[in-house]
Structure 1
């Protein structure tokens, strides 16, 4: 699990694109992992995906 977390953090740190939220940092304590990103209005990604109808041309 630790190795997966470190890999994810390394990938996020290298993502630079105007359509991707900015990675700020990460921390890990005993059984808690935290990834910090910039705030975006409109709710979480999970909420966004649950409330959207994806057009077929984007879903393929």
Structure 2
């Protein structure tokens, strides 16, 4: 058997595996995912705001 072929034998999708690990720690997958999304947004808030300001500026210039 060639290397990497054992990946095809995985019976549980990644989400199910992660859910099982999180549940063993007393955390639901949905709660974890929501917290991860919020963390990602807040860590990148400055960049997001700069992008929105640039888009607004470019949209304003295209109207003229």
TM-score when scaled to structure 2? 0.29
Q: Which structure has the greater CA radius of gyration? A: 2
TM-score when scaled to structure 1? 0.31
Higher strand residue share: 1
